[in-house]
Amino acid sequence: MVDTLEIARQKFPGSQNSLDALCKRFSVDTSKREKHSALVDCHLLKNVYVNLLDQKEPKFNFNNIEHNDLKFEKRKIGKALGKIIKPSEGELRDHKNFLKKNLSKNFFN
């Protein structure tokens, strides 16, 4: 259990740290909050919590991207990754055996 109020008080001492105040501070959209609702508050608190920990999720706007920009980004990413090496059949088999042997509850097998 994490007490976000305690985190907010440590980060912003003397400031108002209600959910509404934190949403306003971090520019979290509260338009869906017509009245107090636990489910809506949970979604808002998730966004506030991410901001309190300084682990902001990137917000992308894909509406203004031109086709040429996408080609450039793909080339740039491809060069950054380098050569992709695929495992051989033997390596895949050895990996699968390792997982079966060493992990009692492996949901991927």
> Which residue, among 19, 75, 101, has the nearest Cα to 52 in the 3D structure?
19
Quick one: tokens of 109? 């097998």
Q: Is 36 a catalytic residue?
A: yes
Total Cβ atoms within 10 A of residue 29: 10
User: In whole angstroms, what is the distance from residue 99 CA to residue 105 CA?
Assistant: 9
Catalytic residue of the set 36, 43, 67, 95? 36
Active-site annotation, residues: 36
